[in-house]
Amino acid sequence: MLRLTLRQLDILEAVARCGSFSRASVELHLTQPAVSMQIKQLESTLGVPLFEQMGKRIHLTGAGQETLQTSHAIHRELINLEHTLANLQGLKGGTLTVSAASTASYFTARLMALFREIHPDVRVSLNVVNRETLLRHLADNSIDLALMGQPPEGHDLTAQPFMDNPLVVIAAPNHPLAGQHQIPLTRLAEEPYVGREPGSGTRGAVEKFFTENGLTLKAAMEMNKNEAIKQAVEAGLGLGVVSLHTVQAELTAHTLCVLDVQGFPLRRQWYLVQRQGKRLGPAAQAFVQFVLNEAGRVAPLDR
């Protein structure tokens, strides 16, 4: 029987993720010799090398890849065990870990605050991340739930829509198209466009819509944050397409406006997402019901 420790597996995952013993030691708050020793002990226990040096980085061997996958599976089962035990203990004192796409952060904090008012004993952890990181959190089973736009297919995920997510075209209030009605898409395609980075759900939806209409956007700038897009549009650097939820404050302050464009808003949904087959604890189950019942009231839209 193999005699290895969870600590050794944690260190294996960190070294694999960082690509070096020194960077892993910083992340783990250990000395580099301590990290190297734990990996050597793990390799001795398994009887195979787990890493090989290639240039300045180290990479997993075939045996290392297999061990890493098993490590992930062990951690997923431990998380499931934690949730099962929490079920036996009831909701009081439970934990909830949620990751939200950055575009959903504008209402997620309010959702969390109201949920905590109802369940003050639940320990809540909220991560606001980009779409790529959010999908990695789901794959690693390091979170209970995710709040995001349309999830991708083929990732073993279960998704429940809980609220409309209309995508609108925004402009500076003094833009020549502001106040015009039923602006043709062909006219919009002539304007410089400030958009999200590749992999963004918003970018994918916008590009698909314009392609289906035989048009291409005139890309001017690419941003990885909605706040940066809004600031660029406000400064007159181009038009943008964002979730209506993300510009409520700017519309109220009249620093941005929504253009009346043919085919817009694009009708999308916000989704509550979890790993397929994941066993949710009482706190996560309560949060699911809360979001499904209350999200529309917590995050009303006003154009």
What count of other Cβ atoms lies within 10 Å of the Cβ of residue 120?
Answer: 8
Model pLDDT, residue 62: 92
- Residue 297 contacts residue 110 (beta carbons within 8 Å): no
Distance CA 256, CA 276 (A): 40
* pLDDT the model gives residue 42: 92
For the CA atoms of the chain, what is the radius of gyration?
23
Q: Which tens digits make up the pLDDT trace of 221-230?
A: 888 788 899 9
Query: The tokens of 195 are what?
Result: 């958009």
Nearest to 286 by CA among 101, 76, 83: 83
Within 8 A by CB and 6+ apart from 64, the residues are 12, 16, 49, 50, 51
CA distance 103 to 249: 14
pLDDT of residue 300: 62
Domains and CATH numbers, the chain: 6-71 (1.10.10.10), 90-163+269-298 (3.40.190.10), 167-258 (3.40.190.10)
Q: Exposed, middle or buried, 46 (CB in 10 Å: 0-12/13-18/19+)?
A: middle
pLDDT of 40-49, one tens digit each?
999 999 999 9
Closest CA to 172 of 253, 292, 87: 253
pLDDT digits (tens, 9 = 90+) for 3-29: 888 889 989 998 998 888 888 888 888
**128, containing H or E segment:** strand 123-129
CB 47 within 8 A of CB 99: no
* Residue ranges, the chain, pLDDT below 50: none
- In the numeric block, the tokens 């700017």 are attached to 250
pLDDT at residue number 84: 66
Q: What is the pLDDT of residue 209?
A: 92
CB of 202 within 8 A of CB of 242? yes
How much is the pLDDT for 11?
92
Neighbours of 188 (CB within 10 A): 22
Residue 303: per-residue pLDDT: 56
Cα pseudo-dihedral 252, 256, 257, 261, rounded to 10: -140
pLDDT at 85: 66
